[in-house]
Chains A and B, each alone.
Chain A
Amino acid sequence: MDFFKANLWEIKKSGSLRILGALLALFHVTQFYLWWDQGHLPLTFAQEDIPICWSMFESCEWLRAIPIGALTSVYYTYGSFMALAALVFLLTEFAGIGYFFLCFGTIAGLVVYFQDFRLSSNEGFFAFFATVAFLLVPAKHRLMRWLLASLFVASGLSLLSPAWLSGIWFVTHMAVPIKLGEWLAAVTVLVQMIGGVCLIFRDGRYFWAGWLSLFLLCISQLYTGELFLASMGVGWLLYIGFDEFELRKAEREYLYQSFIRPEPSFLWGGILLSSFWLAQVLMFLPYSPQSHLRSFLETWTVTPKVNHQECDQRTFARFKEHTEEIDVKPQLASSPQLSCNPYIFYLDLRGLCRKMKARDPNFATLMSSLLIRDIHTGKSYLAFESKDVCAPNLSFSDITEARWTTNLDM
């Protein structure tokens, strides 16, 4: 209980941390709204036959042990508790009540979030990671400053790839000339990496230069349509700005400070930050065999905004009398990492098999081929190629074995 009291005491005595609590709750409300807007995404995924597991879980069938009714309750608990937490932090002085709403809301949110890997996103990761740190790790002022600065830097670091620096994201989203797209991409990286570091400087010139550049970047990101991520960035910057003012005020009132409670240790904050950076550095290391630690840390990695893979899927539907090439509408994948995930393609195909069988009695099967190209290396590999995707007992592990072979004796 003392642990919670200590954390709560820190939040209670700081106006900026209460604002941060409200902001974090609002981020979760936004996350809930986005899921709700997309047709209650977690509940939709939970009702599918096969979940997509997070890399840290070897199997996630056990997650399906939660009945859908119970999961629905947890899902709505998440949304409502977060809304209440935001209201309490913003409108009242009862930080304790807000803290516990945020705590229970976060637990409910994590239960929902870990149901399916397709729910993962940078925004979700940032929101949950920052909330857990906010709720449980002491020395919050320093930790949150370092953590939020780290999130900006890590976000910039994740964009350090030819895929992003080619400017293609800006060209496709904003219809700007290619050259301008390239420069915008480069400036985005520079601002996030250098501006993020500036946030930990005490020298006002560096701090406010970094703060202002990041603020302008986030505002411009609002224009480019990245509403959630940009609002999150603006929220964090507002908190850091308030925090800076509060710190300056505390310095001015140094003589009047109470030292009954000493400054909490930064040990746990340091461990958390180290883990975070270990995860970020992982993605720059050459491939090493999958381990539990690596799988765990992978879930902490900031996902690049643009995918470094390009996937080319061709699918043909076979009917009794004809064959036709079709487009397979991809399932909603919030993370660019998932856009070339063979398993997602496999699930899409199996889902389509069911739909087409029900719709057309002449439908026989799907033939599909998925080629994935890594645009870093320019190498491509055949993820799978199957002549009978709709075979009753076909599993994902079999699909790579059930090769599509043609001969001229047909």
Chain B
Amino acid sequence: MDYESRHVKWYWLILFLAYCTLTGYLLFKNNPLLYSNSELRAQIIGKDLGSLKILPENRPSTADLGPEVFPARHDLQRSGQIQPGRSFTWELKEVQNFPIPAEDKLQIEGVAADTHGFVLTGKSPWVTSVTFEGHIKWRYKFKTLADDQSLFAPLVDKKLTYVFHPSGEAIALSSATGDIVWALTLTDAIVAQPFLWQEQLIVPVREGTSTKLITLKRFNGDEVARTKAIDLKPGFLSSYNSALKLWIFTSDNKVVALLPGDWKPAWAQTLTDPIRGFAINNETSVFVTTLGAKAYKLDAKNRGRVEWEMDLSKSAGGSITYLPYTNRLNFLLTNGVMSTIDAKAGKLLWSYNIENRNTMVETWAQRLKGAAIEKYKMEWLHKGWTIWSPCASKRVCIYAPNKGALIRRIPLIGDPVAGPVQIEDTWYFLVKKTDGELFISHVAHEDTKSPVDSTEQNR
């Protein structure tokens, strides 16, 4: 450029215009059509999603992890039956209890167990693995947890404990040591309790206003598949109907059956009120209770057709227990009353106010030995199936299924919160004393040597 001349020469002007054009070209090349930031981000993420946020890079390539140990409601059908193949003594008492050391009071909401102890989660970012003798095995802490959030209940298999943060973190820890085996940050929030299915871990995550299921390999967290949006609301619960090989989900007032594998809906049934607890499966039948104080029997083989519905005096406090051979359903109501209904006809058989004031509001079913059938004049046809339930305050009771006759009352050191985990001839309960302190209570045959303080036993 001629520095002394103020007038811009034509060739400089052309050069300047060319430069301006180049600037404009580069501008649009780097941001075509000035697309929105969110689109840009989506495009960037879309380029390389697979390797996004799973660690470590060198994870196990294969492993036999077995089925879930002590699943919720004791089996995937969520029927509340413990060890159908075994019968037990009724002459039980609390033989030992161990305090769980906790720096701050654990607000337990999710409990899982393996053969060595409990894994506890709740309204804090801590996951605590504690042995049945009350020793802390290991603890894991997520970075943060909002005040209005809770960690999901852990899942435990032969070797791993899976823990979940609602923001979308899934972590597999060694059940023995608490070491991280893999840690995955999902791009979406986890909206319902994950579950194990065969060799896979199924994690429900948010997809707009619906849910999608992400299938992960249990041993290394690799993603196997993800579904499209499924019409399931956050907080849904899952159970498995083994007769029809269907997963049954209860979501708000809907019961939805999905085919495992591709997770396509088989049928959906809408009820009048929101459903309380799990859907219970027995053969091709599905039983649910609702917050509107109703109980339903659905026919899973017939697209969830309602076979019967019955009104309850109060809504159920928790899930239903199915008593085999007697073909009865048993549950606790929110007012502390225990009800038993005929699963075939949908009629109330008996109702008995057991004044349950414990934190735990779910019953379960176990078989007693022949001596108990004889002693308590139960029917041999019922194979010794009895109802076990938290009762009154700080107690667990055993009832006969016929008319609810009390067989045994087992006082505990505190309110039963979770359990039981039944290993060999011992039942392990998580109990809470009135001051909030947590204990692990061991219940066994009354002849078992008891190191428990006699004052505790005589409360």
Interface set of A (CB-CB < 8 Å, partner B): 142, 156, 160-162, 165-168, 171, 178-179, 181-183, 185-186, 189-190, 193-194, 197, 200-204, 206, 312, 314, 316, 321-327, 367, 369, 371, 373, 375, 377-380, 382, 385, 387, 403-408, 410
Contact = CB atoms under 8 A, between A and B. Distances in A.
The 7 closest A-B pairs by CB, nearest first: A378-B47, A324-B141, A322-B139, A165-B31, A404-B56, A405-B58, A369-B55
Contacts of B425: none
Interface stretch (B32-40, B82-90, B191-199, B358-366): B32-40
Contact of A197 (B5, B16, B159): B16
Nearest to B29: A160
B182 interface: yes
B31 A186 contact: yes
B291 interface: no
Interface stretch (B170-178, B248-256, B381-389): B170-178
Interface string B124-153: 000000000000101111110000000000
Secondary structure of the A contact surface, majority rule: mixed
Contact of A385 (B7, B51, B55): B55
Interface string B143-169: 100000000000000011000000000
A405 B220 CA distance: 11
B406 interface: no
A112 B41 CA distance: 39
A410 B48 contact: no
Given A178-B38, A325-B142, 10 more contacts: A161-B30, A182-B36, A190-B23, A190-B24, A314-B185, A323-B141, A323-B179, A380-B48, A382-B57, A410-B179
A278 to B, nearest CB: 18
Contacts of A200: 1
Q: Is the interface of B mostly helix, strand, loop or mixed?
A: mixed
A325 B185 CA distance: 13
Given A369-B56, A371-B53, A385-B57, A322 B141 contact: yes
Given A321-B139, A325-B141, A385 B56 contact: yes
A400 to B, nearest CB: 11
Interface in B1-56: 1, 3-8, 16, 19-20, 23-24, 26-27, 30-31, 34-38, 40-41, 43-48, 51-53, 55-56
B60 interface: yes
A204 B8 CA distance: 10
Given A178-B36, A182-B34, A380-B51, A327 B143 contact: yes
21 contacts: A156-B23, A160-B30, A162-B30, A165-B30, A167-B37, A178-B38, A182-B35, A190-B23, A202-B5, A202-B6, A314-B183, A314-B185, A322-B140, A324-B143, A325-B142, A378-B44, A379-B47, A405-B56, A408-B159, A408-B160, A408-B219
Contacts of B57: 369, 382, 385, 403-404
A387 B58 CA distance: 11
B378 interface: no
B40 A166 contact: yes
Contacts of B65: 408
B48 A166 contact: no
A182 B37 CA distance: 8
**Which among B5, B23, B160 has the greatest number of chain A C-beta atoms within 10 A?**
B23
Nearest to A181: B37
Contacts of B56: 369, 385, 387, 403-406
Contacts of B219: 408
Interface of B: 1, 3-8, 16, 19-20, 23-24, 26-27, 30-31, 34-38, 40-41, 43-48, 51-53, 55-60, 63, 65, 136, 138-143, 159-160, 173-174, 176-183, 185, 219
A375 to B, nearest CB: 5
A380 B51 CA distance: 8
Nearest to B160: A408
B178 A379 contact: no
A143 B34 CA distance: 36
B179 A406 contact: yes
A86 B173 CA distance: 62
A410 B34 CA distance: 52
A83 to B, nearest CB: 36
A408 B138 contact: no
A312 B138 contact: no
Contacts of B176: 410
Contact of A314 (B55, B63, B141): B55
Contacts of A312: 53
A161 B142 CA distance: 36
Which of A322, A327, A408 is the most central at the interface, judged by chain B CB atoms within 10 Å of its CB?
A: A408
Given A162-B30, A203-B8, A408-B219, A380 B52 contact: yes
A89 to B, nearest CB: 26
B20 A375 contact: no
Contact of B180 (A185, A197, A323, A407): A323
A200 B3 CA distance: 9
Nearest to B169: A325
Contact of B58 (A182, A190, A204, A406): A406
Contacts of B181: 406, 408, 410
A405 B57 CA distance: 7
